[in-house]
A and B are shown apart, each in its own frame.
Chain A
Amino acid sequence: MQGNLSRRRLKDGPGIERPEPRASARADAAMSGMGPGTPGFARDYCPMRDYGEGEHGQAAVSPWHPERDTGKLLLAHATRKTPSKMRRLGGFHMQDITEHLVELIKSASTDLGPDVQNALSTAVETEEKDSAAQGALLTILDNVEMSRKTGRPICQDTGTPIFYVWYPVGVSQLQIRKQVKAAVRIATEKTYLRPNAVEALSGKNSGDNTGEDFPTIHFDEWEHDYVKVGLMLKGGGSENCGAQYSVPSQDFPAARDITGVRKAVLDAACKAQGLGCAPGILGVGIGGDRATSMIKAKEQLFRRLTDSNEDAELDAMEKRLHREINELGIGPMGFGGKTTVLGVKMAQLHRVPASFFVSIAYMCWADRRKLLTIKNGSVTIEAP
């Protein structure tokens, strides 16, 4: 692998891999305030939290940056940035991360994260003994273990692969995009993914999980000197249970405050019944426009189930909604029972005064998401 990596290193290009002989680059980076020594570095496990303010007070580039998807602009962007900044960071080398991305996909598809598995195990205890609800949860847990052992997909619907890439200044998005697509093709061949990309109107399957804006890739340049890639496999059945409310509207009279948000989330959970393969997890985005609101909602699904919201009001509402939705009695698969959701995670964005959106992303129990970190030449894959 090492040989392969060095062969692919770009000589003077920006990159993410720091080879040993150039260790001084690390000191340079730290001195320029970008290294792991910087206060606030990895201040939170969840990479989503690094959105918003950069460490020097500049806004970090978020996944919906206007230059995000335009190859041409990206090139210009990279060239523009290269001379001064990159020389300062010199010594970083771009490595081909395709093989690590394949492993990331395999891990996400076949190995459920411990937070979700624990929540499912706890739920078994709360359901009535020998009930259909308890039976469903036990079957799910057996399936999870079996998939882990056999390396087979947890669910045959491996969904839309949604990637989130955080990368240091100067790394080429174009290259990463190519590598992500290549990894998805390989993973499909190895049956970690089912070929899921079909043309919208004709329904024609591309056969390799790539296509127009497929897989989804969000890019976010950050000031750390390493790369992190998040992957979520978002199944179709659960995605169909998502919802978006414009508050208030004729069909949905509710207040433009936290009570209106509560009403919307409860309504969406009740409409979903068991159809998204309950017990699910709800990500909620409040504010923004129709698009950013839903992106924010999906990002919440990356949060660890056991975490708390930094915003006290939202934290209280997350816990309240979790309890209230379970009181609806829909239960696993909609069989009836106490476990309809495993968690509710919320976040807010600024909005224009005229709009108030509440967006709800529904994730099924097969909540497949993993994080790949490539840092100082070491590679780790873990659950959020």
Chain B
Amino acid sequence: MAVKLTVPISEEDIRALKVGDQVLVTGVIFTGRDAAHKYMMDNFIKGTCPDSEKETYDVLKAGLAGSVIYHCGPVVGKTNDGKHTFVAAGPTTSIREEPYQADVMGHFGVRAVIGKGGMRDRTLAGCKEHGAVYLHAIGGAATLIAESVKEVLDVYKLDFGVPEAFWKIRVEDFPCVVTMDSHGESLHDKIRTDSQKKLQEILAS
């Protein structure tokens, strides 16, 4: 029923997916939202990586290839032995990253983006070009998703604040649905068009 996606994810795995497929993501992935995307764009994609950011760049470059960016601002706790844990980790609205997402996918070789609400044309084109997908997590399922985060491995750019930092995490069977695939299909566009048509029918009845 659900397809297992394990990091590193190959282009072949991605091209096999189509909208509506349910997937379970396993492996080491990164969280990143507004500040993180702007940072990657300004420093690494538009700019020439300043020396101060070289170390972070190397980590991201190595870690994101074949991996996943998760749009999430987690609630992070600490265990008794001082390790970070994710207390709640539901997805945040993805559309805010629309200006950056396609470039970030292309530059770092990201294979999937997890978020909620879907994204628009630029990202859809990026998915097609770079062999990537948009995965929709279950909005509000914060506890369940936090359970699937098995380990918090590291954090980068914590100066952005806890929700905005890059958290390197290991997830197991993180449940998502493919809503934008690498063949130019967007479930969001389809549902929007279909429901608007249906609305007119209902109003006419």
Residues of A near any B CB (own CB < 8 A): 130-132, 135-136, 139-140, 142-143, 146-147, 150, 152-157, 191, 194, 235, 237, 263, 266-267, 270, 273-275, 277, 324, 327-331, 333-336, 364-366
Q: List residues of chain B with CB within 8 A of the CB of A194.
A: 75, 88
Q: List residues of chain A with CB within 8 A of the CB of B89.
A: 156
Report whether A140 and B88 are in contact in the complex, using a CB–CB cutoff of 8 Å.
no
Report whether B75 and A365 are in contact in the complex, using a CB–CB cutoff of 8 Å.
no
In the complex, B32 has a CB within 8 A of chain A: no
Residues of B near any A CB (own CB < 8 A): 1-2, 20-22, 73-75, 77, 87-90, 93, 116-118, 136, 138-147, 175, 177, 179, 187-188, 190-192, 194-196, 198-199, 202-203
Q: List residues of chain A with CB within 8 A of the CB of B93.
A: 237, 275
Report whether A266 and B140 are in contact in the complex, using a CB–CB cutoff of 8 Å.
no
In the assembly, what is the distance between CA of A135 and CA of B173, in Å?
A: 14
In the assembly, what is the distance between CA of A139 and CA of B142, in Å?
A: 10
In the assembly, what is the distance between CA of A143 and CA of B118, in Å?
A: 22
Q: List residues of chain A with CB within 8 A of the CB of B145.
A: 143
Q: List residues of chain A with CB within 8 A of the CB of B139.
A: 155, 237, 277, 333, 364
Q: List residues of chain B with CB within 8 A of the CB of A263.
A: 203
Q: Which residue of B lies closest to A130 (CB)?
A: B1
CB proximity of A360 to chain B, nearest CB, Å: 15
What are the 7 closest A-B residue pairs judged by CB atoms, nearest first? Answer: A156-B88, A277-B139, A143-B144, A143-B141, A155-B140, A156-B142, A328-B195
A selection of 30 A-B contacts at a CB cut-off of 8 Å is A132-B22, A135-B175, A135-B177, A140-B141, A142-B144, A143-B138, A143-B143, A154-B140, A154-B143, A155-B139, A155-B140, A156-B75, A156-B87, A191-B75, A191-B77, A237-B139, A266-B199, A267-B199, A273-B191, A274-B191, A275-B93, A275-B117, A277-B139, A328-B198, A329-B194, A329-B198, A331-B191, A334-B136, A336-B190, A365-B140
